[in-house]
Structure 1
């Protein structure tokens, strides 16, 4: 099925996305700089772009920059005067991302903060609130990241979390994989938190079998 999933993604890309030199160059640069190939797919990037626009996002928080592929999609969704803060643990990844932002002509909208995301989030007290949050970092910390997204957002803030199905691994209650343990803890937190309306959508395609959580702060 994997080849079929890839073929459908290729069809979607050709019909609805077309060529994009800046994004293609971003992926090439990421590969040349030996970043892991774990970016969202092109169709998923466009989905994030549209969700941010539908939410009317003016201030976006991204947790997990990598080489900035999804960051570029989100920055393009911002209106004039909008801004995006993206958090990245690795200094090398942040350096590559800055190169990609410059080539895509979105650097003026983006601020990268380098270091453990938990520390960066804790230091954000007093900043303007975020109305859209995309979480795609270490899965062990997903509960913390969503709690911080609620704290740093407000009523109406949209929260998207990537990689929440993990090839069906989310069903494995006795897993010792920390990513699955963290993902299951996220679902427990979402189901118990009265401040969130949430669902999850399974996806198949170029990135295999996975999915997204979509949530909104009440």
Structure 2
């Protein structure tokens, strides 16, 4: 286990601060600030785009849209042939997402936006029909989202959970806040599944990654 020293922190900070973002992403983040919406951090966004570029998913589900920052990362990374299904019930967030997609000149056919509650929509999606699921919503229903995500992905499918550090409460054993407990339980659920290969990636907010290795 690495020691927590100033050199380690400096290296981590260098990695976090080496990410640059274009004007489309910057404007999306500004809209997020105006709406008080949580958005994936720049390092997490860049990592998500790289993962999608490497994995090349054809069909992705995003639970919770934020304001489109993570959606842009997925769509840019997956290439022109991929499609993204976004589930978001907050109409202001949906409006911000649509604006980000327009500014990035992403064709409407590549992004299906469902303006209903995730708990209602997920059960209607087909088993093993998606290459990736990003959980980009609050942790109140996280265990249900993870269970549905495991059903939705096919062989070699990927599950990602943003804000995995839960506002940096996760590393504090004494913290028993509901969202923190839910995150711990979700990580345990995935790690204890012998078909899943998991890792917690140390971006600013934390990004938890699980890959189905059953194939």
Give the TM-score normalised by the residue count of structure 1.
Answer: 0.82
Pairing 1:130-209 to 2, within 5 Å after superposition: 130-166=130-166, 168-172=168-172, 175-204=175-204
Deviation at 1:42, TM superposition (A): 2.2
Deviation at 1:133, TM superposition (A): 1.5
CA distance in 1, matches of 2:124, 2:17: 43
> Which one has a larger percent helix, Structure 1 or Structure 2?
1
Question: Runs in 1 of length 4+ with deviation above 3 angstroms?
Answer: 4-11, 171-176
Is the 8 Å Cα contact of residues 67 and 97 (structure 1) preserved in structure 2?
yes
Aligned-pair Cα RMSD in Å: 2.6
In structure 2, the CA distance between the partners of 1:200 and 1:103, relative to structure 1 (3 Å rule), is same
Deviation at 1:80, TM superposition (A): 2.6
- Give 2:22's match in structure 1, choosing from 7, 12, 20: 20
Is the 8 Å Cα contact of residues 160 and 207 (structure 2) preserved in structure 1?
yes
Deviates more, 1:183-192 or 1:60-69: 183-192
CA distance in 2, matches of 1:182, 1:10: 26
Is the 8 Å Cα contact of residues 58 and 131 (structure 1) preserved in structure 2?
yes
Is the 8 Å Cα contact of residues 133 and 160 (structure 2) preserved in structure 1?
yes
Deviation at 1:212, TM superposition (A): 1.7
3-state secondary structure, aligned to 1:203: coil
Q: Quote the residue 2:31 is aligned against.
A: 29
Pairing 1:60-75 to 2, within 5 Å after superposition: 60-75=60-75
In structure 2, the CA distance between the partners of 1:31 and 1:166, relative to structure 1 (3 Å rule), is closer
Deviates more, 1:99-108 or 1:66-75: 99-108
Q: How many pairs are equivalent? A: 205
CA distance in 2, matches of 1:173, 1:11: 28
Deviation at 1:47, TM superposition (A): 0.9
In structure 2, the CA distance between the partners of 1:182 and 1:54, relative to structure 1 (3 Å rule), is same
Residue ranges of structure 1 left out of the alignment (5+ in a row): 205-209
Is the 8 Å Cα contact of residues 29 and 96 (structure 1) preserved in structure 2?
yes
